[in-house]
């Protein structure tokens, strides 16, 4: 929006921002809470060959009994107790 003159030239950018925020509002965002942190610590102790942030995502899903949707099945399938599905391929 900064590349456009203030006013009508910025309208499309603001409309797209609003649509994005509206879409995000409809999503359930699961917290990295105490239960997820404890699960993360246990997974980390197992020395799985999975990145730290992926382990945190996995721990959140396990803690909240959620299925993780990801194309990254190679890493996430290494996490015991995690339900993961790829809906894109």
Q: What are phi and psi of 7, to 5 degrees?
A: 115, -140
d(CA 66, CA 86): 14
CATH architecture classification, 34-85: 3-Layer(aba) Sandwich (3.40)
Token output for 47? 């020395």
d(CA 65, CA 87): 18
Residue among 33, 88, 25, 28 nearest 62 (CA): 33
| Chain region(s) in the chain for CATH 3.40.50.1010 | 34-85
Q: How confident is the model at residue 46 (pLDDT cuts 50, 70, 90)?
A: very high
Give the pLDDT score at 83: 97
Average pLDDT over residues 20-44: 94
Give the pLDDT score at 25: 86
């Amino acid at each position: 929006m900064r590349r456009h003159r203030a006013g009508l030239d910025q309208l499309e950018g603001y409309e797209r921002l609003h649509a994005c925020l509206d879409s995000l509002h409809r999503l359930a965002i699961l917290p990295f809470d105490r239960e997820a942190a404890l699960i993360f610590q246990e997974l980390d102790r197992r020395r799985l060959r999975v990145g730290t942030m992926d382990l945190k995502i996995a721990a959140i899903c396990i803690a909240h009994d959620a299925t993780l949707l990801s194309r990254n099945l190679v890493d996430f399938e290494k996490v015991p107790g995690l339900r993961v599905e790829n809906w894109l391929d």
